[in-house]
Amino acid sequence: MNSKATAAKKRAPTGKSKPQNSNRIMKGRDILVRALEDAGVEVIFGYPGGASMEIHQGLTLSKKIRMVLPRHEQGGAFAAGGYARSTGKVGVCLATSGPGAVNLLTGIIDAKMDSIPLVAITGQVPSTVLGTDAFQETDIIGATFPLVKHSYLVSDIRDIPKVVQEAFVIAATGRPGPVLIDLPKNIQQQETVPDFNVKFDCPSYKPNLQPSSMQIKKAVHAIKEAKRPLIYAGGGIISSHASKELRAFVKKTGIPITTTVMGLGAYPSEDPLSLRMLGMHGAVYANIAINNADLVIALGVRFDDRVTGKLSEFCKDAKFIHVDIDPSEINKNIIVDIPIQGDVKRALKMMGDLAEPKKDMKPWLDQVKAWKQEFPLKYELNPKAIVPQHVISELNKLAEKNAVVSVGVGQHQMWAAQYWNFDEPFNWLCSSGLGAMGFGLPGAMGAQVAHPNRQVINIEGDGSFLMNIQELQTLKIENIPVKNVVLNNAHLGMVAQWEDRFYKSLRGHTFLGDAHFAEIAHAFGIKSESISKPEEVVPALKRMLKHKGPYVLDVKYPYNDKSMGHVMPMIPANHSYLDTILDAKQNLREYWKKKGVLPQ
């Protein structure tokens, strides 16, 4: 592995270094590189082209920044996202103008949806020909306007240090997100004596971090009065580094907790008070519990439709406390009783200092425990075919405790969320809000570059893997030892599942056909194998994890029927938790009617 990233880890945090001025004349490209170094950048994922090659020339001369060449700009953007998701630092990607810049869009909006700090740098045609439809000219500022927190088109070489500093501060603070820097080629080539002693001064950007003490006191009072409280925690816990405060708050109060898919790792999955993940494919008991709570403590969440289902039916009898750094999220989807705008880390510390242990919750905790026992996450083994959930469960047992898990999007993603036990934050990389297929491999690549000595595993479906399969060459050439497990059922599994459930199994172009991923990986020079029998699963996983370099394990299994091939449980879109599909035969409403819990 390149030593630059390792050596840079002890540098000052991103955006916090104190640069020393240079009295020599420098090109714009070199000023940019120096400013990135001063911002603490360790690695950039970038693909060169005519409008960005000057920047690549400058990066080649850098002794502090590692340059990783993805095989597609989308792969580079996702890799930067994986780097950021696994470290909490700002990820950086680089592309040329026109098609190169446009290929970053999916990774940029992925970062926006999931509040991931990202700086995307694009080369641009010379400013002298902007607006003339010059070769590979694209208005990337206009194209990304709704996708970013902020964007810069640099028109003066002297502005580069200030623009870079501002970009990193804005990306990482408040609600994190992507920032774009568009740098025309003539500005890259111009020369000046730069001033690196810039001070962040952006009066219009002042995110409020401090929660209202009055609102905190109201929240603590509501918690004291509640008989059936539940914590609903999301990605805001991860991005604000508030996992420690969350755990202390849960330990002190004894309140059970469920998380969104973005919040996995914020609280240990196997803790007795954990209800794991809630939502469309979440644990049945988590969805039952939150809809029977009298107080929902929402921390760093946005009440996404994949969690709430039909809004009018979601937690109808509960009061809501909502803590969020972004004031626009409060009262956006759910009208809350106690809004708290500010940093969730600070809010949890303040609530934890004032809150008292809950001593009147035994009936509630007993009920939650009973639901957990009645509706466990489960699957059935098949003696004749590999069961994908079993692959993930066994891999979870064999992997290192602090392994980083990246996923694509589809059935495999939800099975990984259901059956992997997450203990710590920043170990789960998932395109959640955007749901972008093709994220898994480059996301894992970015995480492995950030953590060269840790185990990084990419769990993919065949459809998702195919979308950025070219990054296998990056793994090989850069010696990035990501372990790839491809759950290969020859279908777009999640879409086919919806076809089975809601379209009478009419296949609308969801059959992909058989792909031999082990052979493809071998062609890239990567160690690989293919398995299709249940008894091959554990030995193959052990061989993969033992291997020192990158690896592809092609796991072939049939897409067969509703009980074996579907992600269960499932709440149909815009339905309530009572409509949860438990298995091929019944839903929760029907089950409870038979049990006498609900009237016939």
* Angstrom distance (rounded) from CA 111 to CA 89: 13
Q: Is 42 a catalytic residue?
A: no
Catalytic choice (26, 445, 494, 568): 494
- Cα 591 to Cα 213, 260, 320, 451, 538, distances in angstroms: 45, 25, 29, 47, 36
Cα angle vertex 403, ends 63, 567, to 5°?
125
Backbone phi, then psi, for 321, in 5-degree steps? -105, 130
CA distances to 242, 246, 299, 346, 488 from 424, in Å: 11, 12, 17, 19, 29
DSSP three-state, residue 44: strand
Exactly one of 9, 16, 135, 227 is catalytic; name it.
135
Catalytic residue among 136, 455, 473, 586: 136
| Partners of residue 259 on adjacent β-strands | 233, 277
CA 553 – CA 530 distance, rounded (Å): 6
- Cα–Cα distance measured from residue 50 to residue 384, given in angstroms and rounded to the nearest whole number: 54
Q: Which neighbouring-strand residues pair with 231?
A: 257, 297
Check if 590 is active-site: no
428 DSSP β-pair partners: 405
Instruction: Report the C-alpha gap between 95 and 123 in whole angstroms.
Output: 6
Q: Which residues pair with 232 in a beta bridge?
A: 258, 298
**Is 136 known to be catalytic?**
yes
Alpha carbon dihedral 452, 458, 463, 465, in 10-degree steps, equals 20
- Whose CA is closest to 285, among 230, 206, 222? 230
The residue annotated as part of the active site, out of 37, 42, 54, 73, is 73
DSSP-assigned beta bridge partners for residue 270: none
Query: Angle at the Cα of 149 (from 148 to 153), degrees rounded to 5?
Result: 70
Q: Considering all CA atoms of the chain, what is the largest pairwise distance in Å, rounded to the nearest integer?
A: 83
73 is catalytic: yes
Phi first, then psi: what are they for 40, rounded to 5°?
A: 85, 20
CA distance 580 to 600: 17
| Cα 545 from Cα 391, distance rounded (Å) | 13
3-class SS of residue 178: strand
Beta bridge partners of 3: none
Is residue 310 annotated as part of the catalytic site, yes or no?
A: no
- Alpha-carbon distance of 328 to 180, in angstroms, equals 22
CA pseudo-torsion sign 248, 249, 250, 251: positive
Backbone angles phi, psi at 555, to 5 degrees: -100, 105
Active-site residue (options: 185, 349, 372, 483): 185
For the annotated catalytic residues, the residue numbers are 73, 135-136, 185, 494
